[in-house]
Amino acid sequence: MRWEVRVTVRLKEGLNDPEGRVIESALRNLGYAVENLKVPKYFEFELESDNPEREVEEMCRRLLANPVIHTYEYRIEKVS
């Protein structure tokens, strides 16, 4: 079965996101009242698998996220 997968990896709450801070301050300099800007990482791919849940979970743990500093979430949909 073929699946469409979308994974978002975020820095854990409370961890400083330097890239986010710079973009936030650039936006503020342009006059927007932006706050708490974060820069998550986003992955999308297709996956051939009989057990996509398990495999995607494993991919997140083994490579896409670093459990010391990240949380992750994903959406898996069947390719129509």
Partner 1 sequence: MPKFAVIVFPGTNCDFETERAIRKAGGEAERIWYRESLKDFDGVILPGGFSYADYLRAGAIAARQEIMEEVKELSKEGKPVLGICNGFQILTESGLLPGALRPNRIPRFICKWVHLRVVDTETAFTSLYEPGEVIRMPIAHAEGNYYANDLSKVRITFQYSDGNGEIIEDANPNGSLLNIAGISNEKGNVLGMMPHPERASDRWLGGEDGLRVFSSMIEYAKR
Cβ closer to partner 1: 7 or 52?
A: 7
Q: What is the side-by-side strand order in the sheet with 41-48?
A: 41-48, 2-11, 70-78
CB of 19 to partner 1, least distance (A): 5
Please state whether beta strands 41-48 and 70-78 pair in parallel, antiparallel, or not at all (unpaired). Answer: unpaired
Q: Are 5 and 57 a contacting pair, CB within 8 Å?
A: no
Q: Are 70 and 39 a contacting pair, CB within 8 Å?
A: no
Cβ closer to partner 1: 2 or 61?
A: 61
Interface residue with partner 1 among 13, 29, 50, 68 (CB under 8 A) is 68
Interface residue with partner 1 among 13, 18, 78, 80 (CB under 8 A) is 18
Cβ closer to partner 1: 1 or 42?
A: 42
